[in-house]
Structure 1
Amino acid sequence: MDPATFELSLEQQFQMRLVEESLNKMSHEQALDLLLQASRLLMVKDNVIRDLMRRVPL
């Protein structure tokens, strides 16, 4: 597996910069809320991928 495959694309790097700038303007509570939302979405994404993998015939 090529490690470069997991690097962020230029568009993703730009998006990360925008998120970073937004976080610098947020209160601590807002940043924690965003972190919780992002964590939940990552878990949902994991569940979707897991479900899709179960449905793929091998």
Structure 2
Amino acid sequence: MKALIIGATGATGKDLVQVLLHDPDYTKVVTFVRRPSGQSHPKLTEILTHFNHL
């Protein structure tokens, strides 16, 4: 499975990303974030987004 998370640097999003990255059922986790999270993981793809200018 794959997951898409918008707002992955917030309190809930951070926890959700960690759960998904450690879940073997998920092969890819894509996040849309305003600022880099500083996380690095083979399953993680982070997309920097300006939500006011999509």
Query: What TM-score results when the alignment is normalised by the length of structure 1?
Result: 0.32
More strand by share: 2
Whose relative contact order is higher, 1 or 2, with alpha carbons under 8 Å and at least 6 apart?
Answer: 2
The structure number with the bigger radius of gyration is 1
Query: What TM-score results when the alignment is normalised by the length of structure 2?
Result: 0.34
More helix by share: 1
